[in-house]
A and B are shown apart, each in its own frame.
Chain A
Amino acid sequence: MAEAVIFWVCAAGAVATGVAVFRVDSMARATFALLASFVFAATPLLLLGLSYLGVLVILMMIMEMVVMAIFMIMLMMNPAGLMPMSMVHNRRGSLAIAVGTFVVLGAGVLLVDWPQRAGTPPEDVTFALGEALMGSHMLVMLVIGLGLFATIVSAVVLAHPRGRYDRFGDDLRGRPADDPIRGGVGR
């Protein structure tokens, strides 16, 4: 009973805050409405007994959305975000895509012949998850991890306006580096 109540509150909350993302007129509010939506969506994971994944999703979403807020305000539409703004673009096209996706997924829920559960859930799901990540799926996770890391590094390198020649001079021998902001370790 309590589980059903929590699930439906979270479901309604996730949809309501998701709608709010496109209704509010401030980028900051949109960001945190999206964060609330993610947290509502993560709570059902806790109901499934996946406490590690649930708490981790909440943790990562908070950090991610705070960083996201900075980029959303910096890069999107009106710079300060305090002026009236709209998150809606290409109204008809996005409406068609949204309705189409909903219909396909909703039909899938009802029409797919879902398999019966085979076996029982493990005693300690966090431990089982760790074993899967570090055992049978280790190669996949390592490749994904390296791929993500390489993406981050290359994105920063591409986006950064200053390269090593700016920092160390034409012969790369200039020490200490010529940085606009000095670091904290005395280099």
Chain B
Amino acid sequence: MTPVGQGAVWTVLLVPILLGGLALGGASFARVLDARADGRRVTGAVLAAPLSATGRLLVQQRRAVVASDRLLARTGVVLVPVAAVLAALVVPWGNVAASDLSVGIVWFNAMEVVTWAALWMAGWGTNSVWGLVGGYRFVVQGLSYELPHMFALITVATGAGSLRVSDVVAAQDGLWFVVWMPVAFAAFLISALALSFAGPFDTATGRDVAGGVLAEHSGVDRLLLLAGRWLLLAAAAAMAVALFLGGGSGPLLPTWLWTVLKSAAVLGLLVWLRSRTATLRMDRFVEVGWMVLIPLTLLQALVVAVVVLR
């Protein structure tokens, strides 16, 4: 397999398009799963539901509560999709990465943590108790998933001996990291759902708080939050492929196609998990994160470190 290289400057423009396509596919698949769970027939309207929802939100009027902090709310809303696209800059598609930074893994982590601030601002700024509760819930969630997530990333970097994502892909030439880092892979998938406040980790936008962060957002604001959530999930799925599933390596097909296929498969798995699991309360997940996931991911990092040093 040809090694991953730094792409031309214009490839940066491809990132939002590819990520958007992946996210749209994921959103459509989620609608299909929902329809099947409800016993409805899967029609073209179900498949196109994310697109029609986008159109509806684009023409919907924005409303705002009295004395809402619009600056913070809008900043937060815009930052969610922006963070997802920035995080995806370091993900290699085939053997081209839009931005093959020497510290790509840390960059991905930093950009995905922007969601913490963004969601809190989006919740706080609406001057609504539901948004406020949702924003605080996401911070609690962040404190629970972030350390296992970081240890999973550190494990990968230790295994590859580099923070550069292209080196990580190259290091999996013989053996994919998922084979000897299964715990890190599982922790990464869990945190992928958690960082995009999806599935069991959707208490920040939970129905019990009338939509939480989403409660008072309408029109374009709501669209950006919902799209940003799918973009984050897609970015995490694509990153999982580069970090654990050998990137674009595979027989017969070209590398870019393997990347797309694997990313779609991981995203499909995440969406399936999202629709098959019940919402997990934050006060419960905190203990799971700190008492179960952190020790497990630390052990995984230790095993990988010992293997690398031997």
Contact = CB atoms under 8 A, between A and B. Distances in A.
Interface of A: 26, 28-29, 32, 35, 51-52, 55-56, 58-59, 62-63, 65-67, 69-70, 82, 124, 126, 181-185, 187
Interface string B120-139: 11001101000000001001
Interface in B237-253: none
B292 A185 contact: yes
Contacts of A65: 117
Instruction: List the 4 closest A-B pairs by CB distance, nearest first.
Output: A184-B284, A183-B287, A59-B110, A184-B287
Interface stretch (B33-41, B44-52, B100-108, B228-236): B100-108
B142 interface: yes
Nearest to B107: A55
B113 A70 contact: no
Contact of B106 (A59, A62, A181, A184): A59
Interface of B: 67, 69, 71-72, 75, 101-103, 106-107, 109-110, 113-114, 116-117, 120-121, 124-125, 127, 136, 139, 142-143, 146, 163, 280-281, 283-288, 291-292
Given A29-B71, A63-B116, A184 B101 contact: no
Contacts of A82: 67, 69, 127
Contact of B110 (A29, A55, A67, A184): A55
Given A51-B102, A62-B117, A63-B116, A185 B142 contact: no
Contact of B283 (A28, A55, A184): A184
A27 to B, nearest CB: 10
A66 B106 contact: no
Contacts of B101: 51
Nearest to B119: A66
A55 B114 contact: no
13 contacts: A29-B71, A29-B72, A51-B103, A52-B103, A52-B106, A66-B139, A67-B139, A82-B67, A126-B102, A126-B103, A183-B291, A185-B288, A185-B291
A32 to B, nearest CB: 7
Contacts, number: 80
Contact of A181 (B72, B107, B283, B292): B283
A67 B138 CA distance: 11
A1 to B, nearest CB: 18
Nearest to B289: A184
A46 B110 CA distance: 14
A175 to B, nearest CB: 16
Given A55-B103, A184-B283, A62 B116 contact: yes
A138 to B, nearest CB: 16
B239 to A, nearest CB: 15
A66 B283 contact: no
Contact of B287 (A67, A70, A185): A185
A70 B102 CA distance: 34
Nearest to A180: B283
Nearest to A66: B116
Nearest to B114: A62
Given A52-B163, A185-B287, A32 B103 contact: no
A55 B146 CA distance: 16
Contact of A32 (B106, B113, B121): B121
A102 to B, nearest CB: 29
Given A32-B117, A183-B284, A183-B287, 16 more contacts: A28-B124, A29-B72, A51-B103, A55-B110, A56-B110, A59-B113, A62-B114, A66-B117, A70-B139, A126-B102, A126-B103, A182-B283, A184-B285, A184-B287, A185-B291, A187-B287
- Report which residue of A28, A55, A124 has the largest number of chain B beta carbons within 10 angstroms of its beta carbon: A55
A28 B114 contact: no
Contacts of B284: 182-184
B113 A62 contact: yes
A56 B106 contact: yes
Contacts of B285: 184
Given A32-B121, A66-B120, A184 B114 contact: no
